[in-house]
Structure 1
Amino acid sequence: MINDLNWDAILAPGVQAPPGRGRSAMHWAHFVTLPNVQFTAALERLSHQPPADGAHLAVIDGSKCQSDRELFDEFARQLEFPSYFGYNWGAFDECLSDLLVLDDGGLGAAFGDRAGVAASTLLIAIKCTKAVLVRENRHEFGKFISALQAAANGELFKYVRPRPRVARLRVVLHSDDQEFGHFNEMVAE
């Protein structure tokens, strides 16, 4: 659990699991419990004080991600997925991973329709985490976690030679009351 939302804590290796939940293989995820107003202020501070090697912050509203279609819409909007995004888990996996490729000029340049953002880290901050995919079954939630994990680990590029240079992916999962919805179950496993 991160108590002070700062770049050093976010970029640190290892897992920050919710209290009493043990450790997790989600090295890319950090859990934050703050009132909504404080969380928003902390994100504002982060956006104005990026690390030396650059970072891009994307804020996802979990209350707009209650079904898989809503999640695809919110991520596509906030991460500016290309117009050819297919609104399914395979396309989500691919666009999230391609977004991180830095070789073509920065975050998002691999989509071929933009110059890209100069940053070595993509931070996705999910507000109201407990609402993410609440209208879907646990299997769909597992697909979401797998896509984040695959992107964070560069799994889609493991057989690509030469392997592209990719940005770090970090995800901050926010709750105002220590309830993280499906994430609680995933971390406990």
Structure 2
Amino acid sequence: MSVELSWADVVAPGISSQGQPAVSEEWAFLVEADAAGFIEAISSLKDEPIAGGAYVVILNGAQCESGRDLFNEFSRKLNFPAYFGANWAAFDECLNDFVILNGRGMGSEFGDREGIHARMLLLAIVNADRILRNGTLAEWKAFLASLQRASTGANLSEITGKRELASLRVIFHCDTNGYSGLVRKMNSSNVNFRTK
């Protein structure tokens, strides 16, 4: 089963500040398709222009079956800084810091690099039904909570001051065999999501 995606499916990018959603509180999308078709659709999406630009990262849920594996995959693909502590608090902090723009681009908040100049971060997770397969429900919920906070700026406080944020959208992919299980996991975590 193949799939076609456009930026209209994902929501046009915007900027959010101090915990205000950029365009929509919908940050999570579920796509049922074969893996090759999904990767092809994401590759086509990368080539499609979008106002403000988008940084598209493909992650593999099969490389995220435990918490440690998930930290390694995200750290490698998003180039987390050397001080990343490979625990849930550090994951939450680095993911949230990654989406801060402040005129310097995504990732510049780490202080060790030039930022990526795009207004949207799209995380496309192939085989998402395998994420934390060997983990606990608490880890799954911590993972989704970190993504949700990064998508809304909910971690920002009055102490941090006003921050310009990239819009974060996450597409969770799985094939027909894993789809109903992934929907159940998402529903059990009270995450609002759309399907394609």
Taking structure 2 as the reference length, the TM-score comes to: 0.83
Contact 1:130 1:183 in 2 (8 A): no
1:171 pairs with 2:186? no
2: CA distance, partners of 1:172 / 1:50: 18
1:115-149 alpha-carbon deviations (Å, 9 max, x no partner): 11110000000000110001011111111111111
- Partner SS state of residue 4, structure 2: coil
1:50-72 alpha-carbon deviations (Å, 9 max, x no partner): 31211000111000000000000
What amino acid is aligned across from residue 142 of structure 1 in structure 2?
Answer: K
Correspondence for 1:22: none
Using the aligned pairs only, state the percent identity.
38
1:179 CA displacement: 2.2
1:183 CA displacement: 4.9
- Quote the RMSD (CA, aligned, Å): 2.0
- Partner SS state of residue 126, structure 1: strand
1:43 CA displacement: 1.0
**More moved, 96-105 vs 176-185:** 176-185
Task: Give the strand-richer structure, 1 or 2.
Answer: 2
Correspondence for 1:9: 9
Taking structure 1 as the reference length, the TM-score comes to: 0.86
- Partner SS state of residue 176, structure 2: coil
Alignment of 1:10-89 (within 5 A): 10-11=10-11, 27-89=26-88
1: CA distance, partners of 2:117 / 2:159: 23
- Partner SS state of residue 94, structure 2: helix
1: CA distance, partners of 2:125 / 2:5: 13
- Partner SS state of residue 174, structure 1: strand
Q: In 2 relative to 1, CA 87–161 (structure 1 residues): closer, same or farther, beyond 3 Å? A: closer
Correspondence for 1:184: 184
What amino acid is aligned across from residue 9 of structure 1 in structure 2?
Answer: D
1: CA distance, partners of 2:140 / 2:29: 17
Count how many residue pairs are aligned between Structure 1 and Structure 2.
Answer: 176
Q: Which has the higher contact order (CA 8 A, sep 6+)?
A: 2
Structure 1 consecutive aligned stretches of length 4 or more whose deviation exceeds 2 Å = 158-162, 178-186
For structure 1, list consecutive stretches of 5 or more residues without a partner in the other structure.
14-25
For structure 2, list consecutive stretches of 5 or more residues without a partner in the other structure.
14-24, 191-196
